[in-house]
C-alpha cells in the first residue's frame, strides 16, 4: 500500500489528478517492462520469420538456457542498478566462486558441499566488501568494482596456477557430493520431448522473488528510494548503507549460484573465464528498461532483457548468418531493442488520456 | 632493477606455497595430485651455463595451452642452468615493449612469439643491433625470417588444418563445422581455412570462448539449425569438451575433432568420444626455443637448416593415446 503511493511519487507525480481516467493501455504502457516486452516480441517475430530452426520447442529451451545463464546474475545486477550502483566484478566473481569450490574441495579432498559453502562465504564477503567500500569511501561503485574486477581476475589466475599448476581446475566429477550438487545446479528435466535446464527454473524463481521484493515489500521501496535520491532516502530514515551492501551481496550470491552451475555443468573451470560477462548483465538490465541512473526498472524487465540477449545471440546462429558479422548483428539487434523500448516508453509518457 | 629482484623472489614464494599445498594434498589423500610440472627443486643436473634468456609471448592469461609452453621452457632452462625470464602481453604494442625491456636488461637471448610480426619487427631488429640472438616460436612461420629471427619452432597452422581436413574427408566427412573461439585471430582462421581447403563444405562459427555455457548453447543452436553436420572441428581442448555437451544435448551424431590436448580431452580420445586431436606440441615449442638459444650461444649452432622446425601437426587418436594420456594428465602434452 505504502508502496503504491511511493511509486506514484517517484515515477510520475502529475498522474495523481487524472489517475482514474487511465485506461488499460496506458496502465500497461506505464510499466517499466512493457518496452522490453514489445521489443522482445518484435525481435522474436523477426527471427521466427528469418530463422526456421528457431520455430521449435528445443530451440526455445536452448534460448531459455542461454538467457538463464546471463539472466540469473542480471536480475541482481538490475536490482543493484535500481539502487543506483554498478557491479563490474560480477562476471569474474562467477569464475571465482567456481574456482574456490573446485580447488578447495579437490586439494583437501573434502566433500564438494564444503567447498560450495566456503565458496558462498567468499562470494558474499566480496559482495560485502564491494558495498562497504562504496559506502565508506563515497567513491563511485563503477571504480570500486572495477578495482575488484581486476583484483579477482588476477587472483583467479594467480591462485589457480599456484595451487593446481595449471590455469584450469582438475575435473571434480568423481568426488563426493558431485551428483547431488550436479542435480541442484546443472541437471536437466524433460518437458514433453524437450530437455530443459534446471537453471531456467531457478532463473524464473529468482525473477519472481526479486519482483516480489521490489514491488511488495518495504525493502523494495528502500531500493527505489536509495536509487532515486540517496540523500533524501537517508533523510526519511531508509538504512541506505544496509540496503546497498545488501544489494551488492545479492549480486555476489547470484554470481556464486551461476558459478556453481558452471562448475557442475562442466566439471572444471578455466581461471580466465567470465571476463566481459559483467557488461552482458548490465546490458540485459538496460535493455530491460532499467535506468542507468538508478531509481527506475523492474525484475521482469531485466528478465526480458536477458531473454532478448539470449534469443538474439542464438538466433543469429539459427538464421545461419555469416559468423564474421555476429557481433555487428548482435549490436544492431540490441540497439533496436533499446530503441523500441524508448519509443514505447515515450508513448507511455506523452499520451495520458485514454 | 626492483622488478628483477621481485621476480627472483617469485620462485621461492611459489615453492613455499606449493610445499604447503602439496603437504595438504598428501594428508587429504587424493590419488593423483594433478600438481605442477614446473615445481621441482632438485633434478636436472645438467649444464650450469648461467645464461639469461627472455621468453616473451602474446599469451592471454588463463589458457592451459601456455602452461605447456612454459613447462617446456622451464624444463629446458633447468637442464642448461639458464635463468629464464618469462613475460607476456596479448597487446602487440606492449609485447614490443617487453622485447625492448629484455634488450635493455642485456639478456643472452630472446625467444618470442610473432603473432603480430609487423608490430614486433622493429623490436626484433633492435635486439639484433644489440647482438642478442632472437628465435621465434609458436606463431609467425611465414614472417620470422623477414622480421629477423634466426629460427622458428612451431606448427604450420595451414598444414595442420589441411591434414585435419584431409583426414576428415577420407573418413567420409561431408559437412564440417569449424568452431572459432576468439574473433579476429589469424592463427585460428588459418586452421579453419586449411580444413576447408581439403573439406570444401566446411563452415565456420564464432563462439565466445570465455564463457563455456555460451559456447554450448551456440553450438547446440548451430547443430539443430543444420542437422547435416557430421564433423565438428574445435580449435582448443576446452572448447572440444563444450562441444561434446552441445552434441549430447542436440542429439547430434557428428564426430568431433580437436586441436590441442588437455587431460580431459585425452581421456575423451581414449573413450572414443573425440575422434582425434591435432597436437602442435606446445611443450616442444617452449623447450626447443630455449634449447636453440642455448646451443647458439654455447656452440654457434643453427637448427632447422634455414627453415622452420615443425612441432606439429602430431595426430593423437585411439592408436597412440595409451602412451600420451599420462603425459596429458601431467600437463606436458
For the segment B165-173, the average pLDDT, to the nearest whole number, is: 93
Q: Which of B6, B29, B30 to mutate to test the interface with A (most CBs of A within 10 A)?
A: B30
Mean pLDDT by 10 residues, chain A (354 residues): 45 50 70 84 93 88 93 97 95 96 93 96 97 95 95 93 85 90 93 90 97 95 93 93 96 97 90 89 91 89 94 88 80 84 77 52
Ranges of H-type helices in A138-268: 141-164, 178-186, 198-216, 218-228, 230-235, 240-266
Instruction: Write the DSSP string, A298-349.
Output: -HHHHHHHHHHHHHHHHHHHHTT--GGGHHHHHHHHHHHHHHHHHHHHHHHH
Instruction: Write the DSSP string, A237-257.
Output: T--HHHHHHHHHHHHHHHHHH
**Residues in chain B within 8 Å Cβ distance of A156:** 62
Instruction: Provide the 3-class DSSP secondary structure of residue A189.
Output: strand
The pLDDT score that the predictor gives to residue B277 is 95
Distance set, CA B145 to CA A205, B114, B141 (Å): 60, 11, 8
CATH number of the B157-279 domain: 3.40.50.2300
Give residues with Cβ within 8 angstroms of A238, minimum separation 6: A222, A225, A226
The widest CA-to-CA distance across chain A, in whole angstroms, is 68
Are the C-beta atoms of residues B147 and B162 closer than 8 Å to each other?
Answer: no
Same fold? B9-17+38-43+50-155+281-311, B157-279:
yes
The pLDDT score that the predictor gives to residue A320 is 82
Break chain B into its structural domains and give their ranges.
9-17+38-43+50-155+281-311, 157-279
Contact B238 A317 (CB under 8 A): no
Contact A166 B64 (CB under 8 A): yes
Give the closest of B25, B226, B264 to A171, CB-based: B264
SS3 readout for chain B: CHHHHHHHHHHHHHHHHHHHHHHHHHHHCCCCCCCCCCCCCCCCCCCCCCCEEEEEECCCCCCHHHHHHHHHHHHHHHHCCCEEEEEECCCHHHHHHHHHHHHHCCCCEEEEECCCHHHHHHHHHHHHHCCCCEEEECCCCCCHHHHCCCEEEEECHHHHHHHHHHHHHHCCCCCEEEEECCCCCHHHHHHHHHHHHHCCCCEEEECCCCCHHHHHHHHHHHHHHCCCCCEEEECCHHHHHHHHHHHHHHCCCCEEEEECCCHHHHHHHHCCCCCEEEECCHHHHHHHHHHHHHHHHHHCCCCCCCCCEEEECEEEECCCHHHHHHHHHHCCC
Record the pTM: 0.78
The pLDDT score that the predictor gives to residue B32 is 47
For the segment B182-208, the average pLDDT, to the nearest whole number, is: 88
The pLDDT score that the predictor gives to residue B33 is 41
Q: Which of A112, A168, A197 to mutate to test the interface with B (most CBs of B within 10 A)?
A: A168
The pLDDT score that the predictor gives to residue A20 is 54
Instruction: Write the DSSP string, A77-98.
Output: HHHHHHTT---TTHHHHHHHHH
Find the helix or strand (DSSP H, E) in which A191 lies: strand A188-191
Q: Is the pLDDT of residue B317 over 60?
A: yes
- Flag whether residue B217 sits within 8 Å of chain A, measured between CB atoms: yes
| Higher-pLDDT residue of A15, B97 | B97
pLDDT in tens, B263-287: 899 999 999 999 999 999 999 999 9
Q: Is the pLDDT of residue B330 over 90?
A: no
Calculate the dihedral angle through the C-alpha atoms of A340, A344, A349, A351, rounding to the nearest 10 degrees.
130
- Nearest one of A93, A99, A97 to A152, comparing CA atoms: A93
pLDDT in tens, B102-154: 999 899 999 999 988 888 999 999 999 999 999 999 988 988 999 999 999 99
The pLDDT score that the predictor gives to residue B4 is 39
Give the closest of A110, A270, A324 to B62, CB-based: A270
What is the third-level CATH fold of B9-17+38-43+50-155+281-311?
Answer: Rossmann fold (3.40.50)
Q: Which residue's C-alpha cell is 623490436?
A: B123
- Flag whether residue B329 sits within 8 Å of chain A, measured between CB atoms: no
The pLDDT score that the predictor gives to residue B304 is 87
Local confidence band at B38 (pLDDT 50, 70, 90 cut-offs): very low
The pLDDT score that the predictor gives to residue B305 is 86
- Flag whether residue A111 sits within 8 Å of chain B, measured between CB atoms: no
**Residues in chain A within 8 Å Cβ distance of B245:** 265-266
ipTM for the whole complex: 0.71
Give residues with Cβ within 8 angstroms of A217, minimum separation 6: A3
Q: What percent of chain B has pLDDT over 70?
A: 86
Q: What percent of chain B has pLDDT over 90?
A: 59
Which domains can be identified in chain A, with CATH numbers?
35-42+50-187+197-349 (1.10.3470)
- Flag whether residue B59 sits within 8 Å of chain A, measured between CB atoms: no
Q: Is the pLDDT of residue B37 over 80?
A: no
Amino acid at each position: 500500500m505504502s508502496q503504491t503511493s511511493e511509486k506514484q511519487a517517484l515515477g510520475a507525480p502529475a498522474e495523481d489528478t487524472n489517475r482514474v481516467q487511465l485506461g488499460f493501455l496506458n496502465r500497461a504502457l506505464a510499466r517499466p517492462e512493457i518496452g522490453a516486452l514489445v521489443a522482445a516480441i518484435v525481435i522474436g517475430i523477426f527471427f521466427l520469420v528469418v530463422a526456421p530452426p528457431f520455430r521449435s520447442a528445443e530451440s526455445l529451451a536452448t534460448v531459455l538456457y542461454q538467457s538463464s545463464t546471463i539472466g540469473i546474475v542480471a536480475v541482481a545486477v538490475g536490482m543493484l542498478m535500481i539502487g543506483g550502483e554498478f557491479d563490474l566484478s560480477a562476471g569474474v566473481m562467477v569464475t571465482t566462486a567456481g574456482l574456490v569450490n573446485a580447488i578447495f574441495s579437490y586439494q583437501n579432498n573434502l566433500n564438494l558441499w564444503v567447498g560450495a559453502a566456503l565458496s558462498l562465504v567468499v562470494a558474499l564477503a566480496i559482495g560485502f566488501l564491494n558495498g562497504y567500500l562504496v559506502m565508506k569511501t563515497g567513491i563511485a561503485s563503477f571504480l570500486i568494482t572495477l578495482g575488484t574486477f581486476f583484483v579477482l581476475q588476477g587472483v583467479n589466475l594467480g591462485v589457480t596456477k599456484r595451487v593446481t599448476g595449471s590455469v584450469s581446475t582438475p575435473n571434480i566429477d568423481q568426488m563426493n557430493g558431485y551428483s547431488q550438487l550436479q542435480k541442484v545446479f546443472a541437471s536437466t528435466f524433460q518437458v514433453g520431448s524437450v530437455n530443459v535446464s534446471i537453471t531456467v527454473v531457478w532463473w524464473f524463481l529468482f525473477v519472481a522473488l526479486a519482483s516480489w521484493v521490489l514491488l511488495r515489500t518495504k525493502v523494495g521501496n528502500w531500493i527505489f528510494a536509495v536509487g532515486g535520491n540517496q540523500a533524501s532516502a537517508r533523510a526519511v530514515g531508509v538504512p541506505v548503507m544496509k540496503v546497498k551492501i545488501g544489494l551488492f551481496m545479492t549480486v555476489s550470491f547470484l554470481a556464486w549460484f551461476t558459478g556453481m552451475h558452471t562448475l557442475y555443468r562442466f566439471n572444471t573451470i578455466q581461471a580466465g573465464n567470465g571476463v566481459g560477462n559483467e557488461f552482458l548483465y548490465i546490458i540485459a538490465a538496460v535493455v530491460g528498461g532499467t535506468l542507468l541512473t538508478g531509481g527506475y526498472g523492474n525484475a521482469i524487465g531485466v528478465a526480458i532483457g536477458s531473454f532478448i540477449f539470449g534469443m538474439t545471440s542464438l538466433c543469429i546462429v539459427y538464421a545461419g548468418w555469416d559468423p564474421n558479422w555476429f557481433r555487428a548483428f548482435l549490436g544492431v539487434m540490441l540497439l533496436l531493442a533499446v530503441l523500441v523500448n524508448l519509443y514505447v516508453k515515450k508513448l507511455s509518457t506523452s499520451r495520458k488520456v485514454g | 632493477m626492483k622488478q628483477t629482484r621481485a621476480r627472483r623472489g617469485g620462485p621461492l614464494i611459489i615453492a613455499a606455497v606449493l610445499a604447503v599445498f602439496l603437504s595438504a594434498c598428501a594428508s587429504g589423500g587424493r590419488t593423483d595430485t594433478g600438481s605442477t610440472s614446473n615445481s621441482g627443486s632438485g633434478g636436472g643436473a645438467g649444464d650450469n651455463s648461467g645464461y639469461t634468456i627472455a621468453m616473451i609471448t602474446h599469451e592471454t592469461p588463463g589458457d592451459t595451452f601456455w602452461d605447456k609452453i612454459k613447462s617446456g621452457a622451464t624444463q629446458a632452462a633447468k637442464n642448461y642452468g639458464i635463468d629464464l625470464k618469462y613475460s607476456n602481453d596479448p597487446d602487440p604494442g606492449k609485447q614490443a615493449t617487453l622485447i625492448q625491456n629484455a634488450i635493455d636488461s642485456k639478456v643472452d637471448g630472446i625467444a618470442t612469439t610473432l603473432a603480430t610480426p609487423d608490430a614486433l619487427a622493429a623490436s626484433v631488429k633492435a635486439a639484433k643491433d644489440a647482438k642478442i640472438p632472437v628465435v621465434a616460436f609458436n606463431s609467425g612461420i611465414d614472417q620470422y625470417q623477414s622480421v629477423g629471427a634466426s629460427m622458428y619452432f612451431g606448427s604450420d597452422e595451414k598444414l595442420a588444418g589441411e591434414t585435419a581436413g584431409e583426414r576428415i574427408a577420407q573418413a567420409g566427412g561431408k559437412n564440417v563445422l569449424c568452431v572459432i573461439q576468439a574473433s579476429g585471430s589469424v592463427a585460428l582462421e588459418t586452421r579453419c581455412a586449411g580444413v576447408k581447403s581439403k573439406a570444401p563444405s566446411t563452415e565456420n562459427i564464432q563462439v565466445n570462448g570465455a564463457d563455456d555455457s555460451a559456447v554450448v548453447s551456440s553450438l547446440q543452436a548451430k547443430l539443430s539449425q543444420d542437422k547435416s553436420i557430421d564433423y565438428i572441428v574445435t580449435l582448443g581442448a576446452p572448447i572440444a569438451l563444450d562441444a561434446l555437451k552441445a552434441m549430447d544435448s542436440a542429439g547430434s551424431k557428428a564426430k568431433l575433432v580437436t586441436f590441442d590436448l588437455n587431460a580431459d580431452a585425452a581421456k575423451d580420445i581414449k573413450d572414443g568420444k573425440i575422434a582425434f586431436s591435432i597436437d602442435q606440441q606446445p611443450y616442444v615449442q617452449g623447450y626447443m626455443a630455449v634449447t636453440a638459444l642455448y646451443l647458439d650461444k654455447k656452440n654457434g649452432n643453427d637448427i632447422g637448416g634455414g627453415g622452420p622446425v615443425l612441432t606439429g601437426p602430431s595426430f593423437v587418436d585411439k592408436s597412440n593415446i595409451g602412451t600420451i594420456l599420462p603425459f596429458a594428465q601431467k600437463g606436458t602434452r
